[in-house]
Amino acid sequence: MKKIVLKPGREKSLKRHHPWIFSGAINPVKVPLEMGETVEIVNSHGEFLARAACSPKSQIFARVWSFNKNEEITPEFLRRRLENALSRRLRIAQKTSAFRVVFSESDGLPGVIVDKYDSYLVVQLLTAGAEYWKETIFSLLEEVVPCDGIYERSDADVREKEGLPKRAGLVLGKQPPEYIEIHENECRFLVDVCSGHKTGFYIDQRENRRILIDYVKGAELLNCFSYTGGFGICALHYGAEKVANIDSSAQALRLVDKIVELNGMKPENVENVEGNVFQLLREYRQQGRDFDVIVLDPPKFIESAGQVKKAGRAYKDINMLAMQLLRPGGFLFTFSCSGLLAPELFQKIVAYAALDAGKNIHIIRRLAQAEDHPVALNFPEAGYLKGLLCQAAD
């Protein structure tokens, strides 16, 4: 196996079992490397540190498979990791028919995302290492996770940073139906795994939708960045009077109508507005509209560290507007799924938003991603979704 030698003093993060090796930390590599092949990482004295998959085109030069010298990277190794990931989710599988089976580095499988929707698996392979093992991973998944079909959605932009082409399509078994029906928190949803966002549904918000239940009885809810209506459907099921969903995707909103019907809800209680949240919230403010509960779940505004400042202004803007539309005593569920935005900074931005809105706002709960998206302690970057449940205090 080819050896990659770290520059002197660059092994600290690996000693803490952080799984990334940046290209700046290694000595120039003289041998040609295949995309995703397994390499041995050694320190400047030649001592073993880890076995890793190399991504020669990425700034993250390699991602660790194992820190154990005795562990070879083989199909058997991958099987153990997949089985472990699944066994950790058996409890969740009892509660919902849609959950994340494999969450990348947190499950010891960098670049591998597997979501289960009813009897179908949807897979994203996002790194050169995951790609290198793709045939093995697919056939192991078929054995380890009983399913009717495996559909691949390796069409995320991050593949480009790895020098990988985008790819999507059926891999094994049966083609999933146009919409897969799943259940979550006693609600039924339809998931378009072939052309929906990411793998089709934002399962990472499951527990926050559950928390929402306590705040919606009799409420009028504004669900900003609604996608296919996740928070809105849940709110209606648990007693909200009216829901307005805003999203820029007409396709997502069309699916809301179908999901409303599937749940036997009254369409007249649901207003779907196709448009830009930044603009519409201003219009609502002008019209004097207000709400009991507002959800702000924007897409990732920050892709690289350089974007934090600009994104901060965007977060502040929508939060300020939402606070101005909140009735006294009302609740704001505000989120950021940008991993590069630290929770402390997010809270500061929300605080500035309150100041500009001229509102006295309390945080009554802190929110995070669902439990099937665990954060391995050696990889804090896995914790990307943060939220604040705020109340308009007067």
Minimum CB separation from ligand SAH for residue 208, in Å? 8
In the block, which residue shows the tokens 């990472």? 204
Binding to ligand SAH by residue 379, rule CB under 6 A? no
- x/- site string to ligand SAH, residues 262 to 301, per CB under 6 A? --------------xxx------------------x-x--
CB atoms within 10 A of CB 239: 11
SS3 295: strand
- Between CA 71 and CA 79 the distance in angstroms is 13
- For residues 70 and 48, the answer to whether their CB atoms sit within 8 Å is no
> Could you report how far apart the first and last alpha carbons of the chain are, in Å?
65
Residue from 41, 190, 240, 246 in contact with ligand SAH (CB under 6 A): 246
Residues sharing a CB contact under 8 Å with residue 177, sequence separation 6 or more, in sequence order: none
Site string for ligand SAH, 150-189 (x = CB under 6 A): ----------------------------------------
Report the nearest approach of ligand SAH to the CB of residue 272 (Å).
Answer: 12
Q: Which of 22, 278 has the CB closer to ligand SAH?
A: 278
Q: Give the footprint of ligand SAH on residues 204-223 (CB under 6 A).
A: 205
Our finding on whether 225 is near ligand SAH (CB under 6 A) is yes
The total number of residues written for the chain in this structure: 394
Nearer to ligand SAH, 152 or 297 (CB): 297
Nearer to ligand SAH (CB atom), residue 197 or residue 282: 197
**Two structure tokens written together for 179:** 């919409």
∠ CA 31-79-46, rounded to 5°: 35
With CB under 6 A as the contact rule, which of the stretches 95-103, 227-235, 322-330, 357-365 interacts with ligand SAH?
A: 227-235
Please tell me whether residue 247 binds ligand SAH under the rule CB under 6 A.
Answer: yes
From the list 202, 215, 331, 379, which residue makes contact with ligand SAH (rule: CB under 6 A)? 202
What is the DSSP secondary-structure string of 71-118?
---SHHHHHHHHHHHHHHTHHHHHH-SEEEEEEGGGGT-TTEEEEEET
Q: How far is the CB of 111 from ligand SAH (least distance, A)?
A: 22
Q: Which residue from 227, 284, 291, 346 is in contact with ligand SAH, where contact means CB under 6 A?
A: 227
Q: Which of residues 13-42 bind ligand SAH (CB under 6 A)?
A: none
Helix (H), strand (E) at residue 254: helix 250-262
Q: Which of 147, 187, 194, 337 is catalytic?
A: 337
Phi-psi group of 108: left, alpha or beta (phi > 0 → left; psi -120 to 50 → alpha; rest → beta): left
Smallest gap, in angstroms, from Cβ of residue 297 to ligand SAH? 4
For residue 362, list its beta bridge partners.
391
Which residue is listed with tokens 């507005």? 273
Rg (CA), the chain: 22
Q: Should residue 65 be labelled a site residue for ligand SAH when binding is judged by CB under 6 A?
A: no
Segment contacting ligand SAH by CB under 6 A, of 123-131, 228-236, 322-330, 366-374: 228-236
The type of residue at 349 is: I
| Residue nearest ligand SAH (C-beta atom) | 230
# of chain residues touching ligand SAH (CB under 6 A): 19
252 lines the binding site for ligand SAH (CB under 6 A) = yes
337 catalytic, yes or no?
yes
Give residues 326-355 in contact with ligand SAH (rule: CB under 6 A): none
Residue 155 corresponds to which tokens in the numbers above? 């069409």
Residue 43 to residues 10, 25, 36, 310, Cα–Cα distance (Å): 8, 10, 20, 39
* Positions marked catalytic: 337
For ligand SAH, the binding residues (CB under 6 A) are 197, 202, 205, 225-228, 230-231, 246-249, 252, 276-278, 297, 299
